[in-house]
Structure 1
Amino acid sequence: MSTAQAAGSALVEGRKWPRIIRYWVRHWPIPVIIVLIVLMMVPMLLALFIAAKSRAQFDFNPWGLTFPLYYHQTFPAAWRVVSQSILNSVIVSTVSCIGVLFFGSLSAYVFARFDFLGKDTVFVIILSLLMIPAILTLVPRFVVVHKLGLFQTMWALLLPYIAAGQVMAVFLMRTFFVSIPSEYFESARIDGASEFRCFWNIALPLSKHIAGVVAILQVLGTWNDIFWPYLTIGTKKELFTIPVALLIFNDQLGQQIGTQMAGYIIASLPLVLLFAFTSRLFVEGLTAGGLKL
């Protein structure tokens, strides 16, 4: 029994309430959860309704369901505009996620399993980067990208994203690596395993939940970022990520409300599917990380 339900039961036992009141006092979290679910579903339903409308239908009834439905027109039109951008976003998010996991886990393993002069000081300096707002590093990052000749290339997105994701990855994964019993690594070394093999075959498999949290956070950050791609990609349409494409899309199709909303729905589907299939891994990773912290 939860704390809320226990408090409700204690309140009921102290007085003689009617049966219906006793029931709702004991089970009040249920209607609260139902209301929250409804509040979350309403915007999704409104988005689906608007995606089926022409401009005239939207002006007449912006929130209700109107007929005929124009899904067969709005979604194909939106897909033609955002399909290349979705592919670009998938490439950027996937490659940067792999880079963050590989380099971040390697760095975290070094901080967790090795002793060297100034280790704690360096780790604190790395963690201090979390307190620096990203906007403060915008100009230096842009100057570096421009000086390296990466402007309007995919590398202008990949390298900064991989570098920016290292701090959180090192923090989370180092905390977990410290908790792994050292006997595992000592036994592997006795059997002739190299240090990299200990990392690859012991540390990484045991940290898959934390790695899943890092991966999801990285994908969310890169997928939804609009300012940096808009600044570094410029007018090169073939490299637009999905947020930039939707921004340009709004300017081009300002009167086609249904097509715009269809584009938003298409852009959100990859993240919805990602979290639907990885939600258990995400929750387990947060739980494991919370216990270790």
Structure 2
Amino acid sequence: MTNKSQLMLNAVIMLLLFMSLYPILILIFGFTKDSLTFQYNPFSPSLPLWFSNIVPAWERIDRALWNTIAVAGLTTVGGVFLSSLGGFVFARMKFYGKEYIFYFIIALMMVPGILGLIPWYLLIRDLGLLDSLWGLILPGIFSAPIFGIFLLRGFFAAIPEELFEAGRIDGCNNLQLYFRIAVPVSLAILATLAVMQVMGIWNDLVGPSIILTDKSNYIITLALRDFATELSTKGSQTDYPLLFSAYVLSSIPLILLFLFASKYYVEGLTSSGMKL
């Protein structure tokens, strides 16, 4: 590649990077302004910094944020556990029809989730879980293994058999092999799966908007949607700094999660790619 081509490629990459980061910068710049300053200078930083919007924004989304943390926590723990258990079974155990069942699981990944929306709603209704956080938690736990089993099966299959043989010699049964060998050596990929699960729940809007009607049960996506609608229909200029403050507050748990799990997340993505 010539120097001119390399410079053009670098320029395109820098342009794409700027286009990706600039909306985030506008969000950060915007939530530190008052509404009047934002009207005249929405796209660049300005002084003085205003943080008076944080308290009213928090009062509007605090319950929804705690609801989301509860749903994400329970769903992620249950989903990762079932995914790892299923991946271990398909990777290390032998039983009739194992490969055909695994192919069926892979086939389910090819089905768009929107096609199962109506059956999913009818199931939630028949279980009496409409307008309940459990209507999000239980389906989330039992739908997570579809992708999780596919991801973890290859990882567990690549663990040296000598480790499991040593465990069997020490008297471990299959469940003990799972807890004492498979899980400890797979913490990175499990953390990666957990981060993906939390992100999916945090950004889900369609499912919660169908089954949740009581505002006390709203999760963060519904609370932000209603907040944005309310601010934009007041008949005056939308208070974007207040709305941006709510967006920033709702992102803090995800930022903290990624800072805590970033090492394991990157390691899990790299190792899973090599294993698969």
TM-score (norm 1): 0.85
- 1:21-66, CA deviations, whole angstroms, 9 ceiling, x for partnerless residues? 9xx96x9987777666554443232112222334333333332445
Question: Match of 2:164?
Answer: 185
2:170 counterpart letter in structure 1 = D
Greater alpha carbon shift after TM alignment, 75-84 vs 49-58: 49-58
SS at match of 1:193: coil
Q: Which amino acid aligns with 1:158?
A: I
* 1:269 positional shift: 1.9
| CA–CA separation in structure 1 for the residues paired with 2:25 and 2:91 | 47
Written as runs of structure 1 = structure 2, the 5 A alignment for 1:13-28 is none
Correspondence for 2:54: 75
Counterparts of 2:180 and 2:28 in 1: how far apart (Å)? Answer: 46
User: In 2 relative to 1, CA 186–65 (structure 1 residues): closer, same or farther, beyond 3 Å?
Assistant: closer
Distance in 1 of aligned mates of 2:13 and 2:107: 38
Aligned to 1:194: 173
Confirm whether residue 287 of structure 1 aligns to residue 265 of structure 2: no
- Counterparts of 1:248 and 1:209, CA distance in 2: 37
Following the alignment from structure 1 to structure 2, what is the Cα–Cα distance between the partners of residues 116 and 94?
33
Structure 1 partner of 2:104: 125
- Percent of pairs with identical residues: 35
**CA offsets, 1:142-178, max 9 Å, x none?**
0000001011111100011112211111011111111
**Which residue, 57, 71, 76 being the options, matches 1:97?**
76
Pairwise CA distance, 1:94: 1.1
Specify the code of the residue in structure 1 equivalent to 2:249.
I
- Structure 2 residue runs of 5 or longer lacking an equivalent are 233-237
Inter-partner Cα distance in structure 1 for 2:174 and 2:76: 24
| 1:110 maps to 2:66 | no
TM-score of the aligned structures, taking structure 2 as reference length: 0.90
Q: Which amino acid in the other structure matches residue 152 of structure 1? A: D
SS at match of 1:207: helix
In the TM superposition, residue 200 of structure 1 has moved relative to its aligned partner by 0.2
Q: Distance in 2 between matches of 1:49 and 1:291?
A: 40
Give the alignment partner of residue 230 of structure 1, picking from 189, 206, 209: 209
Give yes or no for contact 1:168–1:214 (8 Å, CA) kept in 2: no
2:151 is matched with which residue: 161, 172, 181? 172
Q: Over aligned residue pairs, what C-alpha RMSD do you find?
A: 2.3
Determine the structure 2 residue equivalent to 1:248: 226
2: distance between equivalents of 1:65 and 1:282?
32
Given that residues 53 and 257 in structure 1 are in contact (C-alpha distance below 8 angstroms), is that contact kept between their aligned partners in structure 2? Answer: no
